[in-house]
Amino acid sequence: MFPLGTFPACKAATMIVAAGLFASTLAAADAPPATLTDIATLQHIQQEVQQLLPRVRQAVVAIQAGNGTASGVIISADGLVLTAAHVPDKPGRDLKVVLEDGSVTTAKSLGLDKTTDAALARLKDRGKPWPFVNLSREVTKAQPGEWCFALGHPGGFDKARGPVLRVGKIIKQTANGLHSDCVLMGGDSGGPLFNFNGEVIGIHSQIWEGRDQNVHVSMAPFLRSWDAMQKSQVIKTWGVGAGGYLGVATVMSDDLEVAVADVIEGSPALKAGIRTGDVILSVNGDPMTDQQQFSATVRARAAGDQLKLKLRTQGKEHEISVKLAQKPQDEGQ
Residues acting as catalytic residues: 86, 117, 189
Number of Cβ within 10 Å of residue 195's Cβ equals 19
Give CA torsion, residues 232, 88, 169, 17, to 10 deg. 130
* Separation of alpha carbons 114 and 223, rounded Å: 15
325 by DSSP, 3-state: which? strand
Can you say how many angstroms the Cα of residue 42 is from the centroid of all Cα atoms in its chain? 23
Q: Let me know the angle formed at the C-alpha of 216 by 213 and 222, rounded to the nearest 5 degrees.
A: 155
Can you say how many angstroms the Cα of residue 65 is from the centroid of all Cα atoms in its chain? 23
Reading phi first (left if > 0) and then psi (alpha if -120 to 50, else beta), residue 315 is in left
Contact, 255 vs 264, CB < 8 A?
A: no
52 by DSSP, 3-state: which? helix
The full DSSP string for 191-251 is -EEE-TTS-EEEEEEE--SSGGGEEEEEHHHHHHTHHHHHTTPBP-TTTTS---B--EEEE
Q: Identify which of 170, 190, 188, 189 has the alpha carbon closest to the alpha carbon of residue 180.
A: 170
42 by DSSP, 3-state: which? helix
Tell me the chain's radius of gyration from C-alpha atoms.
21
Single-letter amino acid code for the residue at 186: G
Q: What distances in angstroms separate CA 199 from CA 31, 92, 267, 310, 311, one per listed residue?
A: 32, 27, 35, 28, 31
